[in-house]
């Protein structure tokens, strides 16, 4: 049994540090990099997360650009401890999570950023990631835990930042054809001269999908324009992105349908699909005011528009009538400003602080339809939602990086957030303000102790928060009798050690604990909110990477985790104490090898495994969802500017499926597990051109 006493982590920090003996003066970096990162920093004058935070992993461009994936969130699965929830329903494809936060959509605990700009939708889901394709990325950075003060909303278990290419001179293309008639073109162009940098990106992807009725067509277009002053002290620029995706949805299968034919799509899903459009515009200014003083500003606007048509069951006559047949519209507009200031007062003292303001103006509409095969989405019978709502966030943080000696680094910090907003339910005219959470205070503390150049011990403690999302109660107070909610406060602790026995090897072990008050599983799209009360998440992360000689790279990780309810009850009064949080596997593992046989041939093999998980809050329906997947890739270099990639995913053709418990759309007593089967073995051939 995997146990961590809640008092163990702080005691372990104290006992470990008290036993230290003097060592050579040095400072080791606790961050781990997988692959090659050519450009990685917010800017020359800002603080990189790896130099401040204590549980950071970075995936380099060479581990990204050669991947054939349908969605870029899948790329994050190469990093340790990442759970991939692959729903595979058209544009609603899935997401990446960690630290025992699941990807069901009910508990959205991971902050997403693109080039440092907030990129979650209102519910916390990760849909803006789809705007990014692999060839545009320079790195992916994952920060785990509760000690990062830079972000507030959705930054419960940590954050993921997708850093795209900026500057440089290149003309790159990748042309892919593969299973299920998948066709993809990616084109990237960069030009930089005389202080002016411009970057352009275009991608188009089409696929018939692994199942019937799962065709997908999407494109992305992006541009960046940056100007740097002649003295190099100021850089200003604009980033713009457009994205469009039209996809069919094959629908979920019952266990009997899954056994009969996992590639089928029910007749009732024949008109299911999704039309999704997203836009982004941001303005950036970095200024080195003085050798010791640096400021950075980001002004951004995000827009998310979605029209999803979905049918959950094939039952013509149920007590739920037309509930399973829905059309959902989202129209979300976000605008915000992020400003940070870094003051390097001395080599032993750095002060870093910032302010962010975000305003959301959103619309959510949901319609229900009468039974038909397939569902006819042209004439709604009921309007469930027609809601217009706002969410305003003001947040600020400050942290100090203090070095009492060359071996010890202390990072105390504090973040505060405040939320306001209101909703209008247009079908009834009812209005209501957002729950009043007051100022949400989040103290933080981290330390890194460098025994020598090769070994660093680190520890962190911090608090983050969860607030209700959506357009109606309980997120908004729409009636006088409605109950008040406090924010869910997450308190996390972590201790770890990073060891670098030689220049080519990195090893890290981390033990962590995260406890939450008043946690809720919240699904705004269906108006479902389940109180989980007090929860406790804990885990052990093991990871390592090495290079053997000049030809072979190896890496591996294993994460053991547990998420349990400490104190809560169902709506009918049944205790959830001791139950595992649904859709959370107990272990996640990765392994990989890359062999450069000669100047022309490069071979790679990657494996990912995930344990099974309970699918209901009472843990009564059994465990599902375990998987083991091996992917292989071969690159053959044709010339200095051209190469060929062959990638085979799910090499062993093992069956896997995302599984959820549908106790909402079936008649009473008929609730059952529902399956979204995996793609099976697939193969892709890509031509890469670099000029």
Higher pLDDT, 272 or 2: 272
Confidence of residue 32 (pLDDT cuts 50, 70, 90): confident
- The pLDDT of residue 3: 42
pLDDT over 70 percentage in the chain:
94
d(CA 454, CA 110): 31
CA 420 to each of CA 395, 467, 517, 522: distance values in angstroms, whole numbers, following the listed order: 12, 12, 21, 19
More confident residue, 13 or 106: 106
Q: How many Cβ atoms are within 10 Å of 551's Cβ, its own excluded? A: 12
- Which is higher by pLDDT, 320 or 192? 192
Radius of gyration of the chain (CA): 25
**Cα(514)–Cα(518) distance, rounded to whole angstroms?**
13
Do residues 541 and 80 lie in contact, with contact meaning Cβ atoms separated by under 8 Å? yes
Does the pLDDT at position 98 exceed 90? Answer: yes
Is the CA virtual torsion 323, 277, 120, 104 positive or negative?
Answer: positive
Question: How many Cβ atoms sit within 10 Å of the Cβ of residue 169?
Answer: 11
CB within 8 Å of 599: residues ≥ 6 apart: 637
The residue behind tokens 């094939």 is 314
Expressed in angstroms, the distance from the first to the final Cα of the chain is 55
Q: Element (H or E) spanning 258, and its range? A: helix 255-260
What is the 8-class DSSP label of residue 16?
Answer: H
Out of 19-33, 474-488, 592-606, pick the least confident.
Answer: 19-33
Give the C-alpha separation, 394 to 420, whole Å: 9
Distances (CA, A) of 206 to 212, 276, 319, 639, 684: 15, 15, 39, 28, 13
* Under 8 Å between Cβ of 201 and 180: no
Distance of CA 342 to the CA centre of its chain: 27
Specify the range with the lowest mean pLDDT, choosing from 35-49, 392-406, 589-603: 35-49
Ordered by where they begin, the domains of the chain are 8-540+585-690 (2.40.170.20)
The string over 19-34, giving b where at least 16 C-beta atoms fall within 10 Å of a residue's C-beta and e elsewhere, is: eeeeeeeebbbbbbbb
What local confidence, expressed as pLDDT, does residue 11 receive? 38
> Which has the closest alpha carbon to 606: 593, 587, 596?
593
Q: What is the DSSP letter of 77?
A: G
pLDDT one-digit tens code per residue, 109-141 = 999 999 999 999 999 999 999 999 999 999 999
Residue 8: pLDDT band (50, 70, 90) is very low
> Residue 1's pLDDT is what?
40
Judged against a pLDDT cut of 50, whether residue 79 lies above it is answered with yes
Please report the pLDDT score of residue 17 as a whole number: 36
> In the numeric block, which tokens belong to residue 503?
């220049």
What is the C-alpha separation between 203 and 70, in angstroms, rounded?
Answer: 12
pLDDT at residue 253, as a whole number: 95
Instruction: Read off the pLDDT of each residue in 511-522 and give the average, rounded to a whole number.
Output: 94
Collapsed DSSP state (helix, strand, coil) of residue 160:
strand
With CA atoms as reference, report the closest residue to 391 among 529, 524, 242.
524
Q: How confident is the model at residue 12 (pLDDT cuts 50, 70, 90)?
A: very low
Helices marked H in 76-183 = none
- Whether the pLDDT of residue 25 is over 60: the answer is no
- Does residue 396 carry a pLDDT above 50? yes
- Residues linked to residue 199 through DSSP beta bridges, in sequence order: 190, 224
pLDDT score recorded for residue 638: 97
Taking the C-alpha atoms of 317, 323, 329 and 334 in order, what is their torsion angle to the nearest 10 degrees? -160
pLDDT for the residue 622: 95
pLDDT band at 29 (very low <50, low <70, confident <90, very high): low
Looking at 6-10, 282-286, 303-307, which range is the least confident one?
A: 6-10
- Range with the poorest average pLDDT among 262-276, 286-300, 311-325: 311-325
Q: Which of 483, 411, 418, 497 is nearest to 454 (CA)?
A: 497
| Tens-digit pLDDT profile for residues 177-198 | 999 999 999 999 999 999 999 9
Phi-psi region of 578 (alpha: psi -120 to 50; beta: other; left: phi over 0): left
Exposure string over 475-508, b if 16+ CB within 10 A, otherwise e: bbbbeeeeeebebbbbbbbbbbbbbbeeeeebbb
* CA proximity to 441, closest of 238, 152, 246: 152
Tell me the backbone φ, ψ of residue 639, rounded to 5 degrees.
-160, -175
Give mean pLDDT, residues 606-618: 95
Please, which pLDDT band fits residue 665 given cuts at 50, 70 and 90?
A: confident
Among 560, 519, 518, which residue's Cα sits nearest to residue 542?
560
Please give the mean pLDDT across all residues of the chain.
Answer: 91
Of residues 45 and 23, more confidently modeled: 45
Cα–Cα distance measured from residue 83 to residue 71, given in angstroms and rounded to the nearest whole number:
15
Query: Which has more pLDDT, 37 or 155?
Result: 155
User: Is the pLDDT assigned to residue 65 strictly greater than 50?
Assistant: yes
Confidence band of 318 (pLDDT split at 50, 70, 90): low
For residue 404, the number of C-alpha atoms closer than 13 Å in the C-beta half-sphere is 6
* pLDDT number for residue 673: 94
Q: Which of 297, 204, 239, 216 is nearest to 114 (CA)?
A: 239
| Amino acid 28: pLDDT | 53
Q: What is the mean pLDDT of residues 214-229?
A: 98
Mean per-residue pLDDT, 604-614: 96
Whole-Å CA distances, 527 to 106, 252, 305, 557, 586: 11, 20, 19, 38, 29
Of 527 and 584, the one with more pLDDT: 584
Per residue in 253-268, pLDDT (tens digit) is: 999 999 999 999 999 9
Lowest-pLDDT range, 192-196, 315-319, 458-462?
315-319
293, pLDDT greater than 90: yes
Most confident listed range (415-419, 468-472, 522-526): 415-419
């Amino acid at each position: 049994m995997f146990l961590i006493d809640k008092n163990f982590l702080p005691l372990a920090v104290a006992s470990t540090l008290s036993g230290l003996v003097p060592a050579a003066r040095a400072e080791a970096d606790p961050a781990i990099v997988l692959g090659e990162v050519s450009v990685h920093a917010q800017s020359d004058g800002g603080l990189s997360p790896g130099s401040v935070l204590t549980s950071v992993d970075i995936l380099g461009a060479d581990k990204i650009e050669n991947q054939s994936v349908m969605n870029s969130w899948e790329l994050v699965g190469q990093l340790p401890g990442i759970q991939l929830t692959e729903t595979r329903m058209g544009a609603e494809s899935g997401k990446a999570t960690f630290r025992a936060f699941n990807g069901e959509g009910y508990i959205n605990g991971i902050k997403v950023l693109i080039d440092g700009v907030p990129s979650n939708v209102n519910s916390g889901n990760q849909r803006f990631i789809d705007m990014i394709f692999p060839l545009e990325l320079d790195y992916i950075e994952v920060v785990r835990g509760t000690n990062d003060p830079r972000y507030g909303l959705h930054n419960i278990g940590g954050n993921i930042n997708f850093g795209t290419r900026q500057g440089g001179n290149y003309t790159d293309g990748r042309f892919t054809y593969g299973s299920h008639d998948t066709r993809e073109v990616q084109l990237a162009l960069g030009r930089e001269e005389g202080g002016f940098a411009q970057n352009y990106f275009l991608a188009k992807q089409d696929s018939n999908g692994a199942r019937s009725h799962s065709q997908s067509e999407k494109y992305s277009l992006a541009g960046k324009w940056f100007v740097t002053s002649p003295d190099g002290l100021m850089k200003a620029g604009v980033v713009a992105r457009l994205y469009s995706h039209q996809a069919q949805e094959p629908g979920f299968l019952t266990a009997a349908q899954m056994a009969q034919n996992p590639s089928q799509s029910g007749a009732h899903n024949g008109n299911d699909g999704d039309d999704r459009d997203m836009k982004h515009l941001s303005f950036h200014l970095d200024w080195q005011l003085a050798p010791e003083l640096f400021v950075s500003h980001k002004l951004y606007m995000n827009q998310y528009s979605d029209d999803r048509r979905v049918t959950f069951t094939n039952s013509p006559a149920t007590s739920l009538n037309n509930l399973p047949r829905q059309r959902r519209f989202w129209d979300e507009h976000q605008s915000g400003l992020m400003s940070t200031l870094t003051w390097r007062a001395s080599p032993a003292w750095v002060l870093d602080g910032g302010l962010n303001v975000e305003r959301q103006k959103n619309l959510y509409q949901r319609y229900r339809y009468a039974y038909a095969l397939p569902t006819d989405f042209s004439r709604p019978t009921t309007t469930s939602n027609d809601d217009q709502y706002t969410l305003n966030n003001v947040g600020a943080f400050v942290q100090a990086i203090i070095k009492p000696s060359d071996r010890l680094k202390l990072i105390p910090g504090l973040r505060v957030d405040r939320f306001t907003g209101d909703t209008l339910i247009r079908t009834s005219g009812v209005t209501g303000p957002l729950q009043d959470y007051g100022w949400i205070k989040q103290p933080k503390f981290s330390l890194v102790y460098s025994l020598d150049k090769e070994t660093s011990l680190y520890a962190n403690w911090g608090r983050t928060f969860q607030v209700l999302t959506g357009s109606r109660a309980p997120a908004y107070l729409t009636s006088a009798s409605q109950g008040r909610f406090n924010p869910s406060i997450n308190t996390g602790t972590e201790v770890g050690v990073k060891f670098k026995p030689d220049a080519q090897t990195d090893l890290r072990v981390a033990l962590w604990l995260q406890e939450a008050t008043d946690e809720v599983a919240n699904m705004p799209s269906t108006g479902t909110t389940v109180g989980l009360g007090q929860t406790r998440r804990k885990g052990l992360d093991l990871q390592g990477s090495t290079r053997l000689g000049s030809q072979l790279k190896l890496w591996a990780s294993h994460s053991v985790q547990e998420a349990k309810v400490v104190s809560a009850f169902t709506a009918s009064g049944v205790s959830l104490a001791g139950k595992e949080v649904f859709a959370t596997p107990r272990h996640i593992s990765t392994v990989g090898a890359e062999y450069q046989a000669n100047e022309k041939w490069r071979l790679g093999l990657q494996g990912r495994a995930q344990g099974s998980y309970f699918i209901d809050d009472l843990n009564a329906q059994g465990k599902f969802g375990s998987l083991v997947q091996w992917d292989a890739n071969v690159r053959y270099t044709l010339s200095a500017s051209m190469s060929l990639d062959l990638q085979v995913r799910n090499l062993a053709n093992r069956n896997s499926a995302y599984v959820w418990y549908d106790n909402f759309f079936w008649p009473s007593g008929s609730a059952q597990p529902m399956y979204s089967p995996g793609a099976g073995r697939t193969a892709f051939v890509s031509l890469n051109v670099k000029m």
